[in-house]
Amino acid sequence: MPTCRKVYDVTEFLPEHPGGQKIILQYAGRDATDAYESIHPPGTLEQALPPEKYLGELGETAKRALNRALENRKKTADEERIEKAQANKPSITRILNLHDLERVARQVMSYKALAYYSSAADDEITHAENTLAFRRFFFHPRVLRAVGRCDPTTTILGYRTSIPVFVSGAALAKLGHPLGEANITRGAHATGIIQMISHNASLSSQQIAVARGSPNQVLFYQLYKHKNDVVAEQRVREVEAQGYKAIFLTVDAVVAGNRERDNRALFEIEDMERTAADNSATQLEMDADAIAVAESGGTAGALLARDDLDLTWQTTIPWLRRITKLPIVLKGIQCVEDAVIAAETGLDGIVLSNHGGVALPPIEVLYKLRKQRPDVFSRLEVYIDGGIRRGTDVLKALCLGARAVGMGRPFLYAQSAYGEEGVARAVHILEREIITGMRLLGTATVADLVPEMYLQMTPFISPSGGRVK
């Protein structure tokens, strides 16, 4: 229950709202706290509005009336479904792999959260391709090598990690669990891995920094550069001051993509509710919400509307290098040519990923990079992100030269299903799978993983091409 509800004048802000005007007008004169908090990080409103627009707190009588109304509010069909699922959730000791975690999360998450977490670009082919691409690589395990002492630790940008995996910056963790990204921060601390924080997290970078298990816990920051350089610079300086250890500049999300499932989810919620059928005010608000968000490009669209669409090698990189001493990593490289430019530009790392679009799966780009330009791997660290679900996937990437892999959704699902404990479970599962895999490959250290000895790729084929939807 919110303890403190505030009143603002947003009249002048209306045309600037990234999510469109309608959704705000719908709540005019009424309480918008819950709807607002679940998708905006703290401080969003404060940054967007000048101080004089804050008109004061809601009176005590109004607050009480509001809280009473909220308590009496009839639960939606989705809320009832979730309550039942939470009650029947399996014990965490039964979770044996990341697919299990996802399965549980899908049962206990709201439909809206699920839509955001699982949405992918057009026809959802890219995402499936990413996962399937890993299956086109086969190991050549070696035998009769001592693997009694097997060590999966490594470093990322010089910082130690218990396994060659980091948390990739996925947004809106609070949609899945009330504690949001802090679950991941604590789970990462408990298990010794590094978390990259999304600019679009549902907690502020400050809140997450505070949630750290110790002051030495390493966090990276994923920057979606604001179109206004001054605002962007302020952001970078803030996170540096908060103790973040690297900037991952997002270079592939220049536009909201085409996340239809995200939009469609809202329509489907409407229909579910309509059949559950009570034309209460709550219901009407939700309809309006659905339409508004759909027009502005879904939840993901709302997040990106203020991003800079004119990032360039010539202006953006020097600007960023000038304002920070932190290592800079480009997140979203999708071809060999850009990887080479990144190396020549003196960046510290690149994340091969294909967030949005129908680009080549990252593991394939990694393979091409290894074949065509092996020199790049000695000039910067290369990571990949997308579709990784198994310890063997991690090992395949490392065999091809990746320093580590990023994983986003699996941790969102893990915290949605079991909070902090779920995140730790995910890391332990991966650790077990990685050690087992290394031993079967005949390698006792991460450094021993090399493509000549361990990996064979099949000719490049698009397997999902065979299925008509």
35 neighbors 289 (Cβ within 8 angstroms): yes
Minimum Å distance from CB 138 to its own copies? 4
Chosen residue from 228, 279, 280, 462 binding its own copies by CB under 8 A: 462
Binding marks (x or -) toward its own copies, 358..377, rule CB under 8 A? xxx-----------------
* Dihedrals phi, psi of 251, to nearest 5 degrees: -115, 0
Alpha carbon 206 to chain centroid distance? 18
* Angle in degrees, 0-180, between the axes of helices 229-241 and 316-323, rounded to the nearest 10: 40
Beta bridge partners of 226: 307
Using CB under 8 A, which of the segments 40-48, 111-119, 277-285, 331-339 binds its own copies? Answer: 331-339
- Per the document, the length of the chain is 469
Q: Which listed residue (118, 154, 168, 263) binds its own copies by CB under 8 A? A: 263
Count of positions on this chain that bind its own copies (CB under 8 A): 83
The DSSP result for 55-98, as a single string, is EEEPPHHHHHHHHHHHHHSPPPHHHHHHHHHHHTPPPGGG--SH
Judged by CB under 8 A, the residue of 32, 35, 128, 340 near its own copies is: 128
Residue with tokens 């014990």: 91
**CA angle, corner 187, sides to 132 and 300, nearest 5?**
55
Residues pairing with 267 in the sheet: none
User: What angle is formed at CA 36 by the lines to CA 30 and CA 38, rounded to 5 degrees?
Assistant: 135
CB of 222 to its own copies, least distance (A): 15
Beta bridge pairs of residue 404: 383
Residue indicated by tokens 């890391």: 427
- Cβ 10 to its own copies shortest distance, Å: 25
Residue 437 binds to its own copies (criterion: CB under 8 A): yes
Residue 413 falls in the annotated catalytic set: no
C-alpha–C-alpha distance, residues 218 and 212, integer Å: 9
- Which of 45, 132 has the CB closer to its own copies? 132
Going residue by residue from 16 to 45, which x/- string records binding to its own copies, judged by CB under 8 A?
------------------------------
118 binds its own copies (CB under 8 A): no
By the rule CB under 8 A, 147 interacts with its own copies:
yes
Residue carrying structure tokens 């002048």: 12
Binder to its own copies among 309, 322, 325, 378 (CB under 8 A)? 309
Q: Is 88 in the site for its own copies (CB under 8 A)?
A: no
Out of 116, 199, 244, 252, the active site residue is 252
Which of the following is catalytic: 189, 199, 355, 413?
355
- Stretch touching its own copies by CB under 8 A, among 55-63, 108-116, 119-127, 319-327: 119-127
Q: How far is the CB of 328 from its own copies (least distance, A)?
A: 12
Sheet strands (E) in 256-334: 328-333
Pairing outcome for strands 455-457 and 137-139:
antiparallel
Binding mask 265-304 for its own copies (x = CB under 8 A): --x-----------------------x--xx---------
The reply on whether position 305 binds its own copies by CB under 8 A is no
Question: Does 230 interact with its own copies (rule: CB under 8 A)?
Answer: no
Q: Is 322 in the site for its own copies (CB under 8 A)?
A: no
* C-alpha count within 13 angstroms, C-beta hemisphere, residue 342: 30
Q: What residues act catalytically?
A: 224, 252, 355
